[in-house]
Structure 1
Amino acid sequence: MSDRYENKPFLRFVDAWVLKAIGHLDQATEAYCTAMEPQLRQSFNTTGRWPEIVAKQMNFTPELPAQIRKIWTDGKVRFEAGNGEAADPVQFAMIFVDRTMGGAAQG
């Protein structure tokens, strides 16, 4: 998983943003993102907390977190029914980011 973020540091924040949207952001990642806020503000010449910075940089709409939660909830039920195992929120976040945001989150 560490290779995912090599030369793509912002991608870590986008994945974390999706995990936060579905209520599965772990405390360690949340703490890391919060600690990196000064660097994010400087890099993007902006203000705000890390989730706001990510949303602004990615042009996310205010409705997107609710839409992502619905996709997660509906997909989780289907996945677990079809596979007999628990859905992985981290895997969901990565797949969601890769499929829906493509290269936009790579930088």
Structure 2
Amino acid sequence: MQANPRYAGKPLLRLLECYVLWAIDELPEKEASSLVSMTPKLQNLYKSDGQWQDIIAGTVDMDAEMPERLKVLWARNVEIAQQNGAALTPQQFAEMVVDDNFAG
């Protein structure tokens, strides 16, 4: 994962961002592979079964429709950014979603 002060002491924060990136089909392959490798550790840590996405979703009580809702929200936010002459990167979107909905 990334060495960024944003995530210091907040390991779930980056995992949530990765979940958002995965849901909008923008998760880099290198991180996707790392998360697959981490799955057994995540299963043990969160006492849960399933793939890493399932574990993260379950940890914060996301429902099964969340990936589709995130895709719709991503498309809408990209369109809004373009209308305002701005660019929105997938990482910016992921951080925005996590900060607005999951950061406490």
Paired with 2:37 and 2:8, the residues of 1 have a C-alpha distance of: 19
How many matched pairs? 102
The amino acid of 2:69's aligned partner reads Q
Deviation at 1:102, TM superposition (A): 2.6
Structure 1: unaligned runs, 5 residues or longer? none
CA drift at 1:86 = 3.1
Q: Who is 1:15 aligned against?
A: 17
- 1:86 corresponds in structure 2 to 87
- The answer to which structure, 1 or 2, has the higher relative contact order (CA under 8 A, 6+ apart) is 1
Match of 1:37 in 2: 39
Which 4+ residue blocks in structure 1 deviate beyond 6 angstroms? none
Q: Give identity over the alignment, percent.
A: 28
Q: Deviations over 1:29-51 (max 9, x none)?
A: 11111111111111111211100
CA distance in 1, matches of 2:102, 2:15: 13
Q: State the partner residue of 2:69.
A: 67
> CA contact under 8 A between 2:74 and 2:93: conserved in structure 1?
yes
Q: When you count helix as a share of all residues, which structure comes out higher?
A: 1
Q: Which residues of structure 2 form unaligned runs of 5+?
A: none
The one-character-per-residue Cα deviations of 1:16-40 (angstroms, maximum 9, x if unpaired) are: 0000111100001111111111111
Deviation at 1:53, TM superposition (A): 0.3
In structure 1, C-alpha distance between the alignment counterparts of 2:87 and 2:96, rounded to whole Å: 16
Q: What's the RMSD between the two structures over aligned residues?
A: 1.3
* Equivalent position of 2:99 in the other structure: 98
1:29-81 deviation digits (Å, cap 9, x = unpaired): 11111111111111111211100000111100111111111111011011012
